[in-house]
Structure 1
Amino acid sequence: MHNRDFHPESLMMTHGYKPELSEGAIKCPIFQTSTFVFKNAEEGKAFFEVAYGKREKDPHEELGLIYSRLNNPDLQILEERLSLWDKADECCVFESGMSAISTVMLEFLRPGDVILYSKPVYGGTDHFVNKVLPEYGINGLGFTSEQSKDEVLEMIKSKDLRSKVKVIYIETPANPTNALFDIEMCKEIADELSTPDQEVVIVVDNTYMGPLWQQPLKHGADLVVYSATKYIGGHSDLIAGAVLGKSAHMQRVRRLRTFLGNMAGPWTGWLLMRSLETLKIRMTQQAENAKHVADFLLNHPKVEKVYYLGHLTEGDPSYKTYKNQLSCAGAMVSFDVKGGEKEAFKFLNSLKLMKLAVSLGSTESLAEHPATMTHSDVSDEDRDLLHISDKLVRLSIGVEHYSDIIWDIEQALEQI
């Protein structure tokens, strides 16, 4: 028979793992060890030469393991499997989403540089860009989904920053409003700002879509970052992050991870491997449930506006980007209640099935209030500009029966 290129969901159970190296165990064991034994001193020398970049690996060289800060079977196999979804050259798994994001920014930015970033972004990212990086002489310049390529370039030019922008950082769809950013447009901006000596690197936070519904590398991104806590982990029982992309960029990310020491441990790697086996099943069900929930909210008298990608029509400015970039509307639904913080809190406090908690992408449905929770550190000016108001509620739809989720939302809205 001919060989077959299996789909990623088929490879999640076996790819990268050799049972014969682990006593025939059908699943990869947890390699709970800090260090690994070399067969001889020459082997140790050879492994370190490659690990520290003193030479390239020979084409047929089988590299072994050194120390769990550098590599560990659970992480290595996980990273190979995760790379399949995004069709990435390489992947690095981190101890958290923020450690993945901050490592990328620290690697590709230096004092005096500027990071051009989409607004809104996750509250932790916003804090790092606007409160932490400036302490190192690195500044952020934000742009919104409503600005055109020419408007963004004009804004950069008017501030005399053309030579200073070194990273374009996009979170799309944006947390918590589902605002869409055109990755290909951002690639054109990066190309205009790049010089033969200085490449402008495009980084996309794909947490909201997970690796299933959007592949940023196909649209011109250099690196993709995830909070793997969310859809990739998907069970609210671990914290992790991931960075994927081209080898040239990933070698730099991997090297800094080695010396910052913020890699995930083997137990987290093992849990994430287990989660990858059901990723497509979970996310498919969540997206189906979200459509039912969003359609219900659209017609409710106590709901002012629904932020859901599945409701975009051909007349919407983001529709073309949606059809080109995404394969699904996702499972995140935000909405404005009629009223303000008081009404939003009454809704949240009245939920019986859904849980009032931050995070997203897990099997259970979650609800939160971005303005006072995940995005409370975002400036008042940006919150006003980006529709992160006191009446906004964010829902992460889980795998429960959709009619039960809708019943819970309906009874909670009745309490307002």
Structure 2
Amino acid sequence: MIGPKRLLNGLSRQIKVYGSNVNILKTPTEFRDTLLKLSSEVKERSRISTLYIGTGDTEHGVVNNLVSSVKKHGCDVSLMIDRYRGTRDGGIILKDLRRMGLVHLYQAPYWSRVRYNKPGIIGELLGVHHMKYYLFDDNVIISGANMSDIYFDKRQDRYFLIKSKQLADYICFFHSLHSTCAKVWDVGNYGRSHWLGKGNLNIASTTAGNFTCNTSIEKDTTLRDLGPSDGDTFIYPIFQMPCFSVHQIDEALDLLLNTADSNQNFTLSSGYFNPSKRLLDSLKHTKAQVDIIIPSNEANGFYKGASLKGLVPDMYNLSAMRTLQKCPNVNIFQYSRDDWSYHAKGLWSNNLTILGSSNFNQRSSSRDTEFSVAIVTDNDELKDSLLAERDSLRLHSGDLQKCYRSISAVGFPIMSQFL
């Protein structure tokens, strides 16, 4: 068996931290309260990347805190959201930050070919900016949750608060490169894509390739000292930018699953489980036992959705049936909890976890931009916390292996491309 540190070292940069500086937030309300607290205390810098920002009281509170920090302390603030999903409500809540030129809209390059520029759900079909991180000075929250009120109550997700200047520096550097390839939100010029012309696209492609490969970063010398030498926890940032042929999250799963032996166990979780062919092949051939947690129909974010959205939970269940039929070492568990929805995604195995925005599905593999981190720890307390986090999700999950194995898988090749 090859250790995860050795595998991941060849894929991504290694950032060392102390395990005592990694705090697993357990509930949506703890996530909410932490966002409010950290945004009210920020003095130097903040970077937020999310699919969209909601319009509730918490979102207003965080945005107002950032506006105040800019005015009082000259704080360096930058937000990046998806061009289509992030502008459904007109972005009223962000108007003050927009006036300061601090909000960037990221559009998947695919749309530039057809010149589609209107906000709304159609613009989201070919890919969205799906990265989620919330940075305040040297504190970084890595999560799969968006900054919206539905994620602050009864919606199960994952949230790690990591205190590390080196990780914060790294994310700020990446954010600056990525936001350069986005468009500053200028409502008067919304109709013009930032990908028009080949210049930006070529620059972005080169930047993405150089930044995500495992080489030294020459432009910023502060990023060469990636954490304390005696750090006991190792963080590996991994990206997915399919339009630029960057598939580090897919590659990490391939490495971990395909090199595992029969003594290993993995738990994988996804709010929207529809594995790509690549992941399905890894699940089919891995020697390890893999338990997968998915939402029940009632816990799916599309449950009782209007029109065709109401069919989405059943489509994901068909995907689960297909996976069980083809993968002998896989069990599937369905999360069900009164009035709760399920949005947690990640991977656990012994002292390893992966968390972030990726649902490990077809969309994540082929269309959306994603950011996750793999964490390997030698800190005993953090190891126990990782297992406790996994077990808390399993506590509300029932085993569906027996009933699904007896059902023939149903194909949905066209619909699956948009899930």
Normalized per residue, the structure richer in strand is 2
**Do both proteins adopt the same fold according to a TM-score greater than 0.5, normalized to the shorter chain?**
no
Q: Normalization by structure 1: what TM-score?
A: 0.28
Highest CA radius of gyration, 1 or 2? 1
Q: Normalization by structure 2: what TM-score?
A: 0.28
| Structure possessing the higher relative contact order (Cα contacts under 8 Å, 6 or more residues apart) | 2
